[in-house]
Structure 1
C-alpha cells in the first residue's frame, strides 16, 4: 500500500469537502460547514496564505487531510475516509500539522468531544485534556518541551 502525504493545492478543495462530509463521526454536511464559515473560498484562502493543509493519498486516492490554524496555534481538522481508517493516515496527518505548529508555538491545542473516538486517538498521541468547554467539548494541549506554565490535566 503506497501512502503519500503532501501539502494541499487548490485542486484538492473539492476532495477536502468530500472527505469531511463522508466521515461517520462528527459528520457535518456542506450546508452545516458553510454555516460555520467553512467554505471553498475560506479553504482556498488558507491554502494561499501558508502550507497549512496536508493531503494523505493511498494509491493515488485522496483519503484524508489535516489542517492547522496558524493564527490560533491549533489543529483545526484531521479526517480520514472511513474505508482508510486504521492504516496510520491519521497519525501521519497529525504529525504534519503538529510539526508545522510547533515551528511557531511551544504549546498547541485542539478541541473534540470527550465521547468521540478522536479523543482516545489524541490521548494516545500524547495530547493532554486541560479544559471542559461549555458546549461539551474538551480542549487538549500538547507542548514541544516541558512548559512550566502548562495547564494541568483535568483527568
Structure 2
C-alpha cells in the first residue's frame, strides 16, 4: 500500500471509488464533477490516496476554505483493512498543521461511517443537510488523541 498526496491525474480513479461505495452514495453522480475535485485538491485544500498495484482504492479530501472533510471513501473491496483510518489521520495531521480551526463533516446516521467517526474521536453536534449527523473535531481533541505521535 502506498499513501500519497492526490494529484489531478488521480481524479478518474478517485471518481471510480466515489461511485463504487455502498454507503453515502451520490443520489445524482453529476453532483460531484471532476472540476470539483480539481478545485478541492488544488485550491481549497488537499487530498490523499491509497494505491495498491497502481490502482487507487481509497481517498480523502479536506477543505480549508469551509473547514470541513469533503470526502473520505474506500473501495468496498478494500474496506476493513485500516486504509480509511490511515487516510483520515494523514488528512487531519495536515489540516491541523495548517490551522487550529475546528473541522466538521456530515455523514448518514446509522452508517458504518458514523461509527468510524465516533471511534476516531469526532463529536456529534447536531444535524446537517438532509438529515446527516454533523460531527466536529477540535484541534485540542485531535492533539490529545495523538500525543504519542
TM-score by length of 1: 0.83
Q: Give the conservation status (yes or no) of the 8 Å contact 2:128–2:134.
A: yes
Q: Give the conservation status (yes or no) of the 8 Å contact 2:41–2:47.
A: yes
Aligned-partner Cα distance in 1 for 2:84–2:128: 24
Pair 60,51 (structure 1): closer, same or farther in 2 beyond 3 Å: farther
Matches within 5 A, 1:19-34: 19-28=17-26, 32-34=28-30
Structure 2 residue corresponding to 1:107, chosen from 90, 102, 126: 102
Measured after TM superposition, the shift of residue 49 of structure 1 is 2.1
Matches within 5 A, 1:5-16: 5-16=3-14
My pick for the range that moved more, 38-47 or 72-81, is: 38-47
Displacement over 4 Å in runs of 4+:
none
Corresponding residue number in structure 1 for 2:16: 18
Aligned-partner Cα distance in 2 for 1:47–1:132: 26
SS in 2 for 1:86: coil
RMSD of aligned Cα (Å): 1.7
Pair 15,134 (structure 1): closer, same or farther in 2 beyond 3 Å: closer
Pair 99,107 (structure 1): closer, same or farther in 2 beyond 3 Å: same
Long gaps (5+) in structure 1: 147-155
SS in 2 for 1:52: strand
Aligned-partner Cα distance in 2 for 1:19–1:95: 19
Q: Give the conservation status (yes or no) of the 8 Å contact 1:68–1:101.
A: yes
Long gaps (5+) in structure 2: 142-149
My pick for the range that moved more, 52-61 or 112-121, is: 52-61
SS in 2 for 1:87: coil
SS in 2 for 1:122: helix
Measured after TM superposition, the shift of residue 56 of structure 1 is 0.6
Query: Residue 140 in 1 paired to residue 135 in 2?
Result: yes
Aligned-partner Cα distance in 1 for 2:68–2:58: 18
Measured after TM superposition, the shift of residue 28 of structure 1 is 2.0
